[in-house]
Amino acid sequence: MPKSAPAVLQLDERERRQLQQLVNRHGTPQQLALRASIILLADAGRNHREIGRELNISRAMARVWRVRWLA
């Protein structure tokens, strides 16, 4: 049975800018910056495997944060 594609995630410009600021800010806790990076990559059209490889995380973690953002 083929697997379905990840849910489409589309950020507006304000959300994208705020997440990018979190990633770039030196005082942002690493976990929060990682979550923001996951969402930004998902918005850029990357699938769970690509996000996992780029950020050195599991596909499951990429999937969890995509789903949580969409909830």
- pLDDT reading at 13 higher than 90: yes
Residue 10 contacts by C-beta under 8 Å, 6 or more apart in sequence?
Answer: 43
Distances (CA, A) of 63 to 49, 54, 55: 9, 14, 13
- pLDDT reading at 43 higher than 60: yes
61 vs 71, residue with greater confidence: 61
Helices 59-70 and 48-55 sit at what angle, rounded to 10 degrees? 120
pTM equals 0.90
Q: Copy the structure tokens of residue 44.
A: 């850029």
- Per-residue confidence (pLDDT) for residue 27, from 0 to 100: 96
- Per-residue confidence (pLDDT) for residue 3, from 0 to 100: 67
Mean pLDDT of the chain: 93
- Per-residue confidence (pLDDT) for residue 8, from 0 to 100: 79
Residue for token pair 């996000």: 51
